[in-house]
Chains A and B, each alone.
Chain A
Amino acid sequence: MAQTAVADSDTGPSLTELARSHGLTKAGRLPRLPEYTRHLWSYRHFIAAFANAKVSASLGSTKLGVVWQLLTPLINAGVYYLIFGVLINTKQDVDNFIAYLCAGVFIFGFTQSVVQAGSQSITANIALIRALHFPRASLPIAVSLVEVRNMLASMVVLIAIVLLTGEPITVQWLLLIPALIFQTIFNTGLALFVSRLISKVTDIRQLIPYILRIWMYGSAVLYPVTFFAERIDGWQLALVESNPMLIYIELVRHALMENVELATPAPWLWVQAAIWTVLVGFGGYVYFWRGEKGYGRG
């Protein structure tokens, strides 16, 4: 008869001590944040390859392929213009409503698609997570990279629209670059946050479309930002105007368009944008890292 080694509590501590004395590391130990970050950095090629793979997998089944990256934002802008610019005439108090609207739609769309894709980045790849060892943050970060590509395509469309509607090219256009970098970091943090949250509480995924819709209406995407100041004041207005999406959209409009009315002066917008970027970017990363070892559980 073979010796039986059914677990019993007496042998417990001694086995753990034996493991310690031989310098074995605990499986599923949470690495420290700097160690985790280094590990993640060494997987940068995997992240890039995974992001590329996702793009080719999603566009591979279409005939037009990459052209869709340009067509999607164009159609998107067209639909909103038809409804809000032509049918419900909200454009009366804005000089260049088409450009104003498209900036809002594209910038909000950037964050929106990161949240939508990020919410699935853990749950949809659970088999990969259970099979291979890699820092899990690679998955939401890859999602954010994919959307950066789409965003760059929609920026090309946006710049064309802005120029066609008669805005001049100014030095201020350079501000577009830091604004988009801020938003990308913000989005990545958000993707990390959402992917952990949804891997724990799957029900929230059902709420995401509604949360995004409320967020969009609160971000002055479809109507002028002055709309809020005319209707509410006090803490309610302060709350609406501290909305990070409203801030990022305003920054882009401010960078690309002349004579655009801002909710708050531009320097204060930049300060707020920086605060949101650091807060959500770093906060989301730390929140995700804390859960690193539990993602395989499902």
Chain B
Amino acid sequence: MADQREPTVIADNAHVVYRIYGSAAAGSNTPLASFKRIVTGKKSGAVREVHAVKGVSFVAYKGEAIGLIGTNGSGKSTLLRAIAGLLPVERGGGIFAAGQPSLLGVNAALMNDLSGERNVELGCLAMGMTPAQVKEQAPGIIEFSGINERGDFSSLPMKTYSSGMAARLRFSIAAAKKHDVLLIDEALATGDAKFRKRSEQRVRDLRKEAGTVFLVSHSEQSIRDTCERTIWLESGVIRADGTTDDVLKEYETYVSK
């Protein structure tokens, strides 16, 4: 790899472990079992650890768009969250990034009891905008999301939205800001065909401004369209890292088996 290229994200032997509460198997949560755990000092059965990313290393450079593929549960979303610094990386490894990477996901939870407008305000403030910027951007965000195409939905609580509408609003909020390192999690798969077209255009615009883009998607087409490099993650381990064509070919033979 040429040295003059400027790295923006470096993962060095990164491990990510989730802790999940209350998922104990039947029978392990009886009073007797709990008492036994306390006496023997064993870890609680109600807390389970999921080792989602197991020692991932890669270097991403400025101007690259990198696709992340893998079957469901392979650790793609977790890896993105770790790059964004939202999930801690275990000791011994690390993920380094230029500036503050931003995760553009459709799962950004907002408040369902509040209107779309208030959620736009809250989401923008949570991304670090000033109230003045929020005021300036809010109409554009609502317009882009298209939730007002069928009447004045932006003043209704979000719990009245269809799942597609809610996802579109969340994407629009997240896409309203410029980012150094942009992490996109399945965002392009939401909404109808019309919205998908609009959001793909928005991602291309964001990519021009951003240093590096990571895209998690199950749609090989959107990976082919936007990324020249692809990393294939399987069970938390990198299976392949190379040009999109090569990696996708390998992935296809793996999936069709």
Interface residues in chain A, defined as those with a beta carbon under 8 Å from any beta carbon in chain B: 1-7, 9, 11-12, 15-16, 18-20, 22-29, 42-43, 45-46, 49-50, 53, 56-57, 60-61, 125, 127-134, 202, 293-294, 296-298
10 closest A-B pairs by beta carbon, nearest first, are A2-B242, A127-B109, A19-B96, A7-B55, A131-B108, A24-B96, A46-B125, A57-B113, A27-B85, A15-B12
Task: Give every chain A residue within 8 A of B227 (Cβ-Cβ).
Answer: none
* CA distance in complex: A42, B125 (Å): 10
Which residues B149-207 have CB closer than 8 A to chain A?
157
Contacting residue for A22 out of B7, B11, B94, B131, CB 8 A: B7
Given contacts A46-B126, A129-B86, 5 further A-B contacts (CB under 8 A): A15-B13, A16-B12, A16-B94, A27-B96, A130-B81
Task: Give every chain B residue within 8 A of A129 (Cβ-Cβ).
Answer: 86
Q: Are A11 and B126 in contact (CB under 8 A)?
A: no
Contacting residue for A15 out of B59, B85, B127, B242, CB 8 A: B59
Which residues B1-45 have CB closer than 8 A to chain A?
6-13, 17-21
Nearest chain B CB to A297's CB is how many angstroms away? 6
Assuming A3-B241, A45-B131, A57-B114, is B57 touching A15 (CB within 8 A)? yes
Q: Are B127 and A27 in contact (CB under 8 A)?
A: no
11 pairs across A/B with beta carbons < 8 Å? A2-B246, A6-B237, A20-B96, A28-B85, A45-B130, A46-B125, A46-B126, A133-B100, A133-B126, A202-B21, A297-B19
* CA distance in complex: A7, B55 (Å): 5
Assuming A2-B246, A18-B59, A27-B94, is B88 touching A131 (CB within 8 A)? no
Nearest chain B CB to A90's CB is how many angstroms away? 38
Assuming A5-B241, A28-B95, A131-B108, is B18 touching A297 (CB within 8 A)? yes
Which residues B82-117 have CB closer than 8 A to chain A?
82-89, 93-103, 105, 107-111, 113-114
Task: Give every chain B residue within 8 A of A294 (Cβ-Cβ).
Answer: 88
Assuming A7-B13, A46-B126, is B86 touching A133 (CB within 8 A)? yes
Task: Give every chain A residue within 8 A of B11 (Cβ-Cβ).
Answer: 15
Contacting residue for B246 out of A1, A15, A24, A45, CB 8 A: A1
Task: Give every chain B residue within 8 A of A26 (Cβ-Cβ).
Answer: 94-96
- B20 — nearest CB in chain A belongs to which residue? A298
Q: Write the B222-243 contact mask toward A (1 if CB under 8 angstroms, else 0).
A: 0000000000100001111111
Nearest chain B CB to A44's CB is how many angstroms away? 10
Q: Are A46 and B97 in contact (CB under 8 A)?
A: no
* CA distance in complex: A16, B88 (Å): 17
Nearest chain B CB to A253's CB is how many angstroms away? 38
Q: Are B125 and A49 in contact (CB under 8 A)?
A: yes
> Is B128 positioned at the interface, with any CB of A under 8 Å from its CB?
yes
Q: Are B127 and A132 in contact (CB under 8 A)?
A: yes
- A293 — nearest CB in chain B belongs to which residue? B88
Q: Are B86 and A130 in contact (CB under 8 A)?
A: yes
> Is B138 positioned at the interface, with any CB of A under 8 Å from its CB?
no
Q: Are A2 and B240 in contact (CB under 8 A)?
A: yes
* CA distance in complex: A38, B9 (Å): 26
- A7 — nearest CB in chain B belongs to which residue? B55
